Amino acid sequence: MPAFASLLVAWQRRHGRKGLPWQDTRDPYRIWLSEVMLQQTQVAAAIPYYRRFVSRFPDVQALAAADEDEVLRLWSGLGYYARARNLHRAARKLVSEHGGRFPDSVDEIEQVPGIGRSSAAAIAAFAFGRRAAILDGNVKRVLARCYGVEGWPGEREVEAKLWRLAERLLPKDDVGVYTQALMDLGATVCTRQPRCDLCPVRRRCVARRESRVHELPAPRPRRTVPLRDATWLLLLHNQQVLLERRPGAGLWGGLWTFPAASNAGYAAQARELGCEISSTRELEPLEHGFTHFRLRIRPVLCGVARTLPGVAAPGRLWIDLEDAAQAAAPAPVKKLIARLGASNASW
């Protein structure tokens, strides 16, 4: 039987994905950008962000020279914002310490902020032809099914076993094609609801042979996701809203959000923010999911009668609703802004 890698390379050349905007390039900057965007994000969702990003920042020098707020604004809606901050910080480091040259070895690439072992290998393979194994979520699923690897891939021992397998299967030639084949096979054929009849390695697949396709890889052990509560003040004055910039580190770092309510009472806190409010109205709550918890947000619409001296403090911004929709803000903020701006909003 042909080797696993040769079957994938042949399949890729006939059936693999074509025409993705980051394919057919050896530019490490663009490959790096695509790898970062595709962490925790589906291809279809990443494509428009990728195109806007490379249009505005065509190379690492342009990204390094940008203001972080603009980087976050272009990333807004894609989620996992630490990726954008790491990307920006890494671009500046590459320019200041390496003259804008991207490192060409896996070990060096892995030192770039925000790049892990698998992404470093992918960049090295696609941009520089290096022989290096990848192991993203899709590849874990392909290997676990084909070779009958038991256990949840997030467990250290299981992941280590998959890494050893990934390295052993690497071909000597056509590493870039093989790497793309693994990605494409996991994304389009060996999915959670697989299409085994289209798989080039179905005859050697342990999971298919043992009728365990839906058992492998083992799912993440179930755990209770905590629910946290937050109350946001939507201070509205002459079709403008007040936003606050979050600290650079932590949740939504560097993004613009609504002020969070404290225990001081809405009117008292509004005065601390430089606003005298005439009315308050609690709006329909919304929830937003993170990796480790869910956030339940209780928005309170506050009509501002007038602003007080000192309202324009550092880290605060009065912004038109129309402009706020384009600001560097997380998804829940944009949802609330859209509701505020909609003429038929059903508050």
Catalytic residue among 35, 110, 155, 244: 35
Could you give the residue range(s) of every CATH 1.10.340.30 domain in the chain?
Answer: 4-209
Of 306, 298, 296, nearest in space to 236 by CA: 306
| Mean pLDDT, residues 158-165 | 98
One-character DSSP codes across 185-237 = HHHHTSSSS--GGG-TTGGG-HHHHTT-TTTSSPPPPP-PPPEEEEEEEEEEE
Whether 81 contacts 104, CB under 8 Å: no
CA distance 181 to 184: 5
List C-alpha distances in Å: 104 to 61, 94, 281.
Answer: 18, 12, 56
Q: pLDDT tens for residues 112-148?
A: 988 999 999 999 999 999 999 999 999 999 999 999 9
Sign of CA dihedral 194, 196, 202, 207: positive
Kindly report the average pLDDT of the chain as a whole number. 92
- The pLDDT value given to residue 347: 41
- The pLDDT value given to residue 2: 67
How sure is the predictor about 22, in pLDDT bands with cuts at 50, 70 and 90?
Answer: very high
User: What Rg, from alpha-carbon coordinates, does the chain have?
Assistant: 24
Selected from 3.90.79.10, 1.10.260.40, 1.10.132.50, 3.40.630.40, the CATH number assigned to the domain covering 227-341 reads: 3.90.79.10
Could you give the residue range(s) of every CATH 3.90.79.10 domain in the chain?
Answer: 227-341
Q: pTM for this one? A: 0.81
Q: pLDDT tens for residues 233-274?
A: 999 998 999 999 998 778 898 899 999 998 768 888 888 888
How sure is the predictor about 345, in pLDDT bands with cuts at 50, 70 and 90?
Answer: very low
* Phi, psi dihedrals of residue 78, rounded to the nearest 5°: -85, -20
| Mean pLDDT, residues 156-165 | 97
Half-sphere exposure of 3 (CA within 13 A, CB side): 10
Question: What percentage of residues in the chain have a pLDDT greater than 90?
Answer: 77
How sure is the predictor about 346, in pLDDT bands with cuts at 50, 70 and 90?
Answer: very low
155 is an active site residue: no
- Looking at residue 172, what DSSP letter applies? S
The CATH architecture that domain 4-209 belongs to is Orthogonal Bundle (1.10)
- pLDDT of 204 strictly over 60: yes
Q: pLDDT tens for residues 45-88?
A: 999 999 999 999 999 999 999 999 999 999 988 888 999 999 99
- The pLDDT value given to residue 311: 62
